[in-house]
A and B are shown apart, each in its own frame.
Chain A
Amino acid sequence: MLVLAALLAAEVVAVYPSAPVLPKNLLRFYVHFSEPMSRGEAWRRIALLDESGKPVELPFLELDQELWDPRQTRLTILFDPGRIKRGVTPKEEIGEALETGRSYTLVVAREWADASGKPLARSHEKKFRVVDEDRAPFDPANWKVSSPRAGTRETLVVTLPEPADHALLERLLRVEGVTGETSVAANETEWRFVPPQPWRKGEYRVMIDTRLEDLAGNKVGRPFDVDVFDRVTKKIDAKEVPLVFRVK
C-alpha cells in the first residue's frame, strides 16, 4: 500500500467552505490534499480568478510560514484581513478582494509539487458566488438541536442557520460527558454526533466553544471586528456555552 501511495500523484480532495455561495468578507479557505505536499510554493500555485478569468490582485495573506497541518495535507489560506476589516486602509484604497454579486474561481495549479516532488494529478477549481458581508456573531440561541430517542444510537444533529468554519466546527463542539463520533455535513451547517452507547433518558448538553467562527471570522458572541462605539448589549465571557437537548 505504501509503495502504491508513493506512486500515485497527489490531488485536491476537498476545499472548504464547501458552499457555492460565500460572504464578501470570507476569511479563509482550507485546501485538503490526498498526500503530503511541499512547502514554499503555495503562493505560486494558488490563484483567485474573477468572472473573466482574470486573477484578483493579492487577495490572500501570503505568509512565508505557509499554514499547513503537521502532515502537510491541509493548507489554510487566509484572505488579507486588511481587505476585509472595516475601515482598514487597503480596503478603502484597492477595495475588497471579493465583490457582492460576482462569481469567482479558486484555482489550484497542477504544477504544485507534493512532498516527494511530483506534480498533482490534475488542477482543481472551486467556483463560488459572493453575497453580502456577514458581520453578525454566532448566536447559539438560533441553533436547532435534534432529540434522539432513548435506547438508540440515533445521530444527534445540531443545525446552524449559517455555515461555520469547517475545522473549528469539527473540533470545538462536544457533548458533555460523552465521547462519540463527530462529523460535519450540509456545507458546514450541521454538526453530527453518534454516541458509543445508546442514549439514556434525560437532559444532555452540547458545549459550544466560543472560539467557533463563521466563514467571516465572527465568533460566538463576538464579531470579527468590534465596533467600540456600539453599546455592548450582550457579552459572552464564557469559554463554552451550552445548548441543551432532551432524550426521551
Chain B
Amino acid sequence: MKLVLALAVTGALACAEPAASLRVGKVALKSAGPLAFGPEGILFAGDSAAASVVAIDTGDRKAGKATTIEVKAINEKVAALLGTSPDQILIADAVVNPVSKNVYLSVSKGKGPDATAHIVRVDGAGKLTEQSLDNVKHASIALPDAPSPEMKDRRGQTLRNESITDLAFVDGKVFVAGLSNEEFSSSLRAIPYPFESATKAAGIEIFHGAHGRFETNAPVRTFVPYTIASKPHILAAYTCTPLVTIPVSELTPGNKVKGRTIAELGNRNRPLDMIVYKKDGKDFILMANSSRGVMKLPAEKLDGYEGIVAQTEKQGVPYETVADLKGVQQLDKLDDKSAVILSDAAGSLDLRTIALP
C-alpha cells in the first residue's frame, strides 16, 4: 500500500527539500516494521521496539520502469544475503519505491528479543542488496506515547509496548497507526515531515462508528491515503474488519474523529494490506486479507455510500474476490498496471509482480 499522493509530494516540496533535514550517520533501527515511501526516495520505517519512526534517504532516486519481478522463496534468499537460515527470517513489509520501482523489504534476522533489523532492496532483475544503515542520511522521531520510565513494573521491567501496525505518507505528514499490548484503543498519529518535535505529533482519537448505535475506540489495522471528492482521506481497515473513510483535514492532534463505515468485509478475517489504483479510468481498492483472499472494490464516489448504520453482513461497497491471488500477505502498487505481492501460497514465500485485476 502506501501511495504517495501527488498532493503530498508537492506539499512537502513546498516546505523544504525532503532530504535536507537528514543527517549522515548510523541508523539505530531496533526493529523493522511497516514501511512507506515519502518523496524522493525517502523511506519511512516503523520501529516498534524503539517506539519511533525513522526516515532514511535511500539515495534511490533514478527513475525506473516496472519490470516483472519474480523471486521464489525470498526468505531463503534474504537469509543467504544476511548470513542466516531461512527459519530465522521474518519479513514484516514490502513496499515499492515509486521513483525507481525497486522493492524494499523490512526484515528481522532472528526471532528473539535480540533480533536485528534490516532493510533489503530487490531490484527489477530480482537481485537482492542490503540497504546500508551505517552511514546514511536519516532522521528519527520518537512517538509521543512511548513507554516512559515510570511505566516499569516492580521488577524494573517495561512491559508496555506499542506495535506500529501501518505507516503512510500523506500531505506532508507521516501517519502512524499503532496497537498497544495493554490498553485497547485507537492511536493514529500525524507526524509532520521533515521531523520537528514529537509534541506536535499528538494522537488522534478515532471512534469507529460502524454499527449504528455502538462505537468503539478500536485500533486501525491498515490504511491507505485516497482522495474522495477532491479531499484527501484515509481509508482505514479496523481490527474488526470494516472499511472506514476519515477526512485527513479532521486528523489534527487531540481531535476526536468519527470514521464513516462504507463496507463490511465479512467475518473470520483480518485485513492485511491495501492499495488504490486506476483501471480503465476507474478507481479501485485492492485489499489483501487473512482468510478472504484478495478483494477488489470499486472506489468511485465513495462519498456516495451511506454510512453503514445497521447490523449487517457485507453491505456497502460491493467487492469481488480475486480468485487467482492466494496467500497474499503484502501488496504495493508498482505502476498503473501492476503491483508487487508477497505471498505464501504453497509453502513458499514469493515476491512477484502481478497485473492489477
22 A-B residue pairs with CB within 8 Å? A39-B90, A39-B108, A39-B111, A58-B268, A65-B164, A67-B181, A69-B157, A76-B181, A78-B184, A81-B216, A82-B239, A82-B240, A87-B212, A88-B210, A90-B267, A165-B182, A167-B160, A167-B182, A168-B182, A183-B154, A224-B184, A228-B215
Contact A92 B313 (CB under 8 A): yes
Residues in A with CB closer than 8 Å to B239 are 61, 78, 81-82
A71 within 8 A of B: yes
Contact B209 A80 (CB under 8 A): no
A72 to B115: give the CA distance in the assembly, Å: 11
**Contacts of B169-214 to chain A: CB distance below 8 A:** 179-185, 207, 209-214
Contact B48 A228 (CB under 8 A): no
A82 to B33: give the CA distance in the assembly, Å: 25
Given contacts A81-B240, A92-B313, contact A87 B112 (CB under 8 A): no
Instruction: Give the bracket for the number of chain A residues in contact with chain B.
Output: 35 or more
Contact A72 B179 (CB under 8 A): no
Residues in B with CB closer than 8 Å to A38 are 111-112
Closest to A224 in B: B216
Contact B181 A93 (CB under 8 A): no
Given contacts A40-B111, A213-B183, contact A87 B159 (CB under 8 A): no
Contact B240 A36 (CB under 8 A): no
Report the tally of A-B residue pairs with Cβ distances under 8 A.
154
**Contacts of B87-128 to chain A: CB distance below 8 A:** 90, 92, 108, 111-115
> Would you give the 0/1 interface string for A221-236, flagging 1 where the beta carbon is closer than 8 Å to chain B?
0001111110000000
Contact A69 B267 (CB under 8 A): no
A113 to B180: give the CA distance in the assembly, Å: 24
Contact A85 B211 (CB under 8 A): yes
Chain B nearest CB: distance from A215 CB in Å?
11
Select which of A74, A82, A113, A181 is within 8 A of B159 by beta carbon: A74
Select which of A61, A62, A115 is within 8 A of B114 by beta carbon: A115
Contact A87 B153 (CB under 8 A): no
Contact B157 A90 (CB under 8 A): no
B-side interface residues toward A, CB under 8 Å?
33, 48-49, 90, 92, 108, 111-115, 151, 153-154, 157-161, 163-165, 179-185, 207, 209-216, 218, 239-241, 264, 266-268, 270, 272, 290, 311-314, 329
Residues in A with CB closer than 8 Å to B313 are 89, 92-93
Contact B214 A63 (CB under 8 A): no
Closest to A91 in B: B267
Contact B218 A71 (CB under 8 A): no
Given contacts A69-B160, A81-B239, A85-B216, contact A211 B181 (CB under 8 A): no
**Contacts of A113-154 to chain B: CB distance below 8 A:** 113-116
Contacts A70-B159, A86-B214, A227-B213 known; 11 new A-B pairs at CB < 8 A: A69-B159, A69-B161, A85-B211, A88-B214, A89-B313, A114-B112, A115-B114, A167-B159, A167-B181, A171-B160, A228-B213
Residues in B with CB closer than 8 Å to A225 are 214-216
A182 within 8 A of B: yes
Contact A67 B154 (CB under 8 A): no
Residues in A with CB closer than 8 Å to B151 are 171
A63 to B184: give the CA distance in the assembly, Å: 14
Residues in B with CB closer than 8 Å to A71 are 113, 157
Given contacts A67-B181, A171-B160, A213-B183, contact A62 B270 (CB under 8 A): yes
Contact B154 A182 (CB under 8 A): yes
Chain A nearest CB: distance from B351 CB in Å?
17
Contact B161 A67 (CB under 8 A): yes
Residues in B with CB closer than 8 Å to A116 are 112
Closest to A211 in B: B183
Closest to A116 in B: B112
Closest to B153 in A: A170
Chain B nearest CB: distance from A80 CB in Å?
7
A88 to B315: give the CA distance in the assembly, Å: 12
Contact A89 B312 (CB under 8 A): yes
Given contacts A92-B313, A171-B153, contact A226 B268 (CB under 8 A): no
Chain A nearest CB: distance from B349 CB in Å?
12
Chain B nearest CB: distance from A230 CB in Å?
8
Chain B nearest CB: distance from A112 CB in Å?
11
Contact A80 B240 (CB under 8 A): yes
A238 within 8 A of B: no
